[in-house]
Chains A and B, each alone.
Chain A
Amino acid sequence: MAILGGGPAGSLFSYFLLRWAEVIDLDLSVDIFEPRQFGHCGPSGCNHCGGIVSESLVQLLATDGINLPGDVVQRGIDSYMLHMDAGSVRIRTPMSQSRIAAVYRGNGPRLGGPTGLDGFDRFLQSMAVERGATVVPQLVHGVHREPDGRIRVETVEGHRAVYELVVVACGVNSRLMGDLLAAEGRPEAAAGTVKTFICEFGLGRDVIAQRLGQSMHVFLLDLPRLQFAALIPKGDFVTLAMLGDDIDDELVAAFLGTREVRERFPDGLPPPNCCHCFPRINIRGTHRPYGDRIVMIGDAGVARLYKDGIGAAYRTAKAAASAAIFNGVAARDFERHYMPACRSISNDNLIGKMIFAASHVAQRYAFCRRAIFRMTWAEQSVPHGPRRMSGILWDLFSGSAPYTDIMRRACHPAFVAGIVRHLVWRDGTPTRNPASEGAANAR
């Protein structure tokens, strides 16, 4: 079997396929084609992503026997700090423990020097190799169907081999996916994408502990074209991840210039970034991400809208591996046993679109932002009270729950009554107080 791409989707597919093959005494040969060296610092060794392993994925991986070691986790996240013009409020993890992992997809920023830590992608790839997969560090440039239906893979370096199954796990930032669909005569089936911005600031571990703590800092600001932005503390660096429409240098500068963001940095001034990129993410899945002896997984197949891309890679990789090993590699096998997982993600994304549209409207109006802040603040002030707004925001930011579940809770009469009450009621909720926020971060 040939796996095109050695990121989380490709490595997890290989890992589970080989694990189950061993259980049923099936002898399989798996080649992972990945030209990128995940041990290199900067873009050449990175898979360009904010690097958050969601709360639910950390739990599911642990249940599957995959525990993220300390040299892969750059920082365990135990809370979210929500920043708005109305104020800042901390949302704690439901179990008061670090269940979100901030990781690097490569080996750290370009100008960051050696981190002494391991990247998430390299960790997963080494697990697949331990199970028996072979990494072919070459760039695939051709995939052709043989007369007998099997598939020939060719690389720029001259490797040519015929495989029983080809798994496309190359993400949406590679040209391979477009070339493949064009060769099949259906270029319109390609996944829909949107541009994001990711950069790293080197602040040092002590400053990060003091200014950001173990929290991911999320910003809901009234900036045109900005959907979502977050500062993610990782070891000696902080990652900025921005989602929105046509993100460009102007929007990044406007975001970094806001008071809410400047307050997160020493002397109120973000330093020059030491690595940055504008990667694309999947916002609409590939139509029919399978065929005879070929299946597309991770971002090349379908991903969750805006959130938990690694979680979607895990789900699609497992579903495809399960279909291939227990059912078969024909198109009908993937239709019956792989497509339901993709459909489940795509259908949930439709609800997600509605939620993000509502969130975008709330971001635009000051009275909505104030109501969200007041309700969250009131809930977080009571140790064991109901946490309707906090729970919704937590799951929305962390990607821990399906959007359908979030929508169901947002339609609950008690939640609606709560938000209406905070829309009209001005209580003693404190206004912004950066000094106390800094002290809280330094816990």
Chain B
Amino acid sequence: MRDNLLGKLYANGEVITRQGEIGDCMYVVQRGQVEIILESPDGSETGVAVIKEGDLFGEMAILEKLPRSATARAIGEARVLTVDRRTFLRRVKEDPTLALNIFRSLSQRIRNMNRELEEARKQVRNP
């Protein structure tokens, strides 16, 4: 029963947003999972995160008008809702608490990056 789900349905491996594109929205996963990938000029890919149901990604495009820093791709079937920059900015002036969830997401990401950086350092010191 798919007529009662919100957002857009992506097939397994389908690209939701591509690294380098200029974005004007962020995304919230309604169902399924999404992987975040860094693409190198030589064509290789590095997985940097897996976004789960209820979590958001692509939020940097809401805050700054720069090219997307990574590619997002569906793992299995994924249902993803788009949140427009315009809708967000229109409301955040009256309701600054709207940004709290984005701060929480960014904070979690920095925490994960610190952990991964620490693990990488340990591996360099003790190969």
Contact = CB atoms under 8 A, between A and B. Distances in A.
The answer to whether A binds B is yes
Interface of A: 16, 20, 56, 58-60, 62-65, 67-68, 70-71, 73-76, 95-99, 101, 117, 205, 209, 214, 235, 315, 318-319, 322, 340-341, 344, 400-402, 405
A58 B6 contact: yes
A221 B74 CA distance: 44
Interface in B20-37: 25, 28, 30-31
Nearest to A95: B82
B45 to A, nearest CB: 26
With most chain A CB atoms within 10 A of its CB, the pick from B4, B7, B31, B53 is: B4
A63 B4 CA distance: 20
Contacts of B82: 59, 95, 97, 99
Contacts of B81: 58-59, 62, 67, 97, 99
A318 B97 contact: yes
B99 to A, nearest CB: 8
Contacts of A20: 97
A98 B94 contact: no
A214 B7 CA distance: 13
A95 B8 contact: yes
A60 B91 contact: yes
B100 to A, nearest CB: 8
Contact of A341 (B7, B84, B87, B94): B94
Contact of B1 (A65, A70, A98, A315): A70
A65 B54 CA distance: 7
Contacts of A62: 28, 30, 56, 81, 83
Interface of B: 1, 3-8, 25, 28, 30-31, 53-54, 56, 81-84, 87-88, 90-91, 94-95, 97-98, 101-102
5 contacts: A58-B6, A63-B98, A71-B4, A98-B5, A322-B97
Contacts of B101: 63-65
B28 A73 contact: no
A60 B87 CA distance: 8
B3 A214 contact: yes
Nearest to A101: B6
Question: Which 6 A/B pairs are nearest by Cβ-Cβ distance?
Answer: A97-B8, A62-B28, A59-B83, A73-B4, A76-B6, A65-B101
Contact of A59 (B5, B88, B102): B88
B3 A315 contact: no
B3 A344 contact: no
A126 to B, nearest CB: 16
Nearest to B105: A65
Contacts of A235: 4
A441 B91 CA distance: 34
Given A56-B87, A65-B54, A98 B6 contact: yes
Given A58-B6, A74-B4, A344 B94 contact: yes
A73 B79 CA distance: 14
A315 B28 contact: no
Contacts of B25: 95
A74 B95 CA distance: 29
A63 B28 contact: yes
Contacts of B4: 70-71, 73-76, 117, 235
Contacts of A315: 94-95
Contacts of A63: 28, 56, 83, 88, 98, 101-102
A267 to B, nearest CB: 23
Given A70-B31, A315-B94, 20 more contacts: A59-B87, A59-B88, A62-B30, A63-B28, A65-B101, A67-B30, A67-B81, A68-B6, A73-B4, A75-B4, A76-B4, A95-B8, A95-B84, A98-B5, A98-B6, A98-B8, A214-B3, A315-B95, A319-B95, A322-B97
Contacts of A319: 94-95
Given A62-B28, A65-B101, A76 B5 contact: yes
B115 to A, nearest CB: 23
Contacts of B90: 401-402, 405
Contacts of A117: 4
Contacts of A59: 81-84, 87-88
Given A59-B81, A59-B84, A76 B97 contact: no
A148 to B, nearest CB: 31
Contacts of B84: 59, 95
With most chain B CB atoms within 10 A of its CB, the pick from A60, A73, A214, A341 is: A60
A70 B3 CA distance: 9
A235 B1 CA distance: 10
A303 to B, nearest CB: 16
A62 B90 CA distance: 15
A366 to B, nearest CB: 35
With most chain A CB atoms within 10 A of its CB, the pick from B1, B25, B88, B95 is: B95
